[in-house]
Amino acid sequence: FDPITTTVVVGIGATLGRTIYNYFRESCDSKWIAFNATGLRNDLDTKLFGQHIASRIILKAVSGFMSNENPKKPLVLSLHGWTGTGKNFVSKLIAENIYKEGMDSSFVHVFTSTLHFPHQSQKATYKSQLQQWIKGNVTNCERSMFIFDEMDKMHPGLIDSIKPYLDYYDKLDGVSYRKSIFIFLSNAGGESIIQTVLDFWKQGRDREEIELKDLETSLSLSVFNNNQSGFYRTNLIDKNLVDFFVPFLPLEYRHVVQCAMAEMKARDIKPDQDVADRVARDLVYFPKSERVFSVKGCKTIESKLDYYT
Ligand SMILES: Nc1ncnc2c1ncn2[C@@H]1O[C@H](COP(=O)(O)OP(=O)(O)OP(=O)(O)O)[C@@H](O)[C@H]1O
């Protein structure tokens, strides 16, 4: 080949390569970020067990927010409840119905308190890092999602550093945070939820009769006043920046059976009621005398199934 042909061929090759690369590379546009309301409804209806209140709030909150082209503030959800009741699981369902790449999307960011903010002495550094991370990521894509796991293990005060981003500002330093989603996960408030569910159970009332109003006030109070909680006396709560406190109810035997059946299906094993029953029977339930709620929710089902199948 003469030099001109070689240059042309290399040029075309490079352009083609870049086009293919850009085509497959996730970008902050509707090709990669598109909310599927029907998908979320379906997932909540068929995959999430025993959480009628959470399911309803999340569907309404996320659908309303995503269909609003001009939200006044970012969506802030705070999910509370006992371990293994589906808080991480729901966050995953939300991500999967917004981002084509789901939790693997480069626009979904997960912070875990014990991993990212372990040392009390470095609170000041964490505060500025957190602000920079959020600002950088939202500058990159306004439809970003931030999940803060283990909020109850976060040093009180740290979360206040992101308050301005959650507030009703049009723009901060030229960046608009109004299309982002912030999800906080914690076990704080779990006891007050359990008490309510147990009271209903003792009165022989149906679990599905429990409404948000039965839980919401005691939940936000116990979270705000609990000095073990990352929300302890936080401005986020007294300035009403959390849009929804979402209670996750403790799971009962029948829900654990459903989790086991779903897990078998996910593994392409024929769901076997007998195996599911054996898995569920082997878990520990509380309170000790009544044995109503699974101590670990559905959390250990996945590993337990290996043993029974
Ligand atoms: N309500 C539920 N419906 C269906 N599956 C569930 C539910 N709760 C938990 N699971 C299953 O158990 C696994 C562990 O639950 P998950 O991590 O969501 O619990 P969590 O509430 O976030 O717990 P923790 O507070 O300990 O972080 C999930 O991946 C899911 O497979």
- Binding residue ranges: 81-88
Residue closest via CA to ligand 1's atom 11 equals 298
Is residue 52 within 8 A of residue 220, CB to CB? The reply is no
Centroid of ligand 1 to alpha carbon of 88 (angstroms):
6
Pocket of ligand 1 (CB under 6 A): 47-51, 83-89, 185, 187, 251, 259, 297-299
pLDDT band at 260 (very low <50, low <70, confident <90, very high): very high
Residue 179 has pLDDT above 70, yes or no: yes
pLDDT digits (tens, 9 = 90+) for 63-96: 999 999 999 999 999 999 999 999 999 999 999 9
CATH code reported for the domain at 37-248: 3.40.50.300
Q: Which of 49, 82, 88 gets mutated to test ligand 1 (max ligand atoms within 8 A of its CB)?
A: 88
* Token representation of residue 102: 């789901």
Centroid of ligand 1 to alpha carbon of 298 (angstroms):
6
Of ligand 1's atoms, which has the minimum distance to the CA of residue 51?
1
> What pLDDT, on the 0 to 100 scale, is given for residue 154?
80
> What pLDDT, on the 0 to 100 scale, is given for residue 177?
93
> What pLDDT, on the 0 to 100 scale, is given for residue 105?
97
Residue 262 has pLDDT above 80, yes or no: yes
Sequence length of the chain is 309
**Angstrom distances, CA of residue 143 to CA of 30, 107, 165, 224:** 10, 7, 13, 28
Residue closest via CA to ligand 1's atom 24 equals 83
Of ligand 1's atoms, which has the minimum distance to the CA of residue 150?
27
Give residue limits of the domains in the chain.
Answer: 37-248, 253-308
Residue closest via CA to ligand 1's atom 7 equals 86
47-51, 114-118, 146-150 — which one is most confidently predicted on average? 47-51
Residue 180 DSSP code? -
How much is the mean pLDDT over the chain? 88
Kindly state the percentage of the chain with pLDDT values over 70. 93
User: What ipTM was estimated for this complex?
Assistant: 0.98
Centroid of ligand 1 to alpha carbon of 215 (angstroms):
20
pLDDT band at 115 (very low <50, low <70, confident <90, very high): confident
Centroid of ligand 1 to alpha carbon of 266 (angstroms):
15
Higher pLDDT, 169 or 83: 83
Residue 274 has pLDDT above 60, yes or no: yes
Kindly state the percentage of the chain with pLDDT values over 90. 56
> What pLDDT, on the 0 to 100 scale, is given for residue 24?
73
pLDDT band at 157 (very low <50, low <70, confident <90, very high): confident
pLDDT digits (tens, 9 = 90+) for 184-234: 998 888 888 999 999 999 999 999 999 988 888 777 777 666 665 556 556
Centroid of ligand 1 to alpha carbon of 254 (angstroms):
15
Alpha helices in 239-300 (DSSP H): 253-266, 273-281
> What pLDDT, on the 0 to 100 scale, is given for residue 35?
97
Hey, what amino acid is at 152? D
Distance CA 190, CA 222 (A): 9
Distance CA 64, CA 41 (A): 13
Compute the half-sphere exposure of residue 116: CA atoms within 13 Å on the CB side of its CA: 19
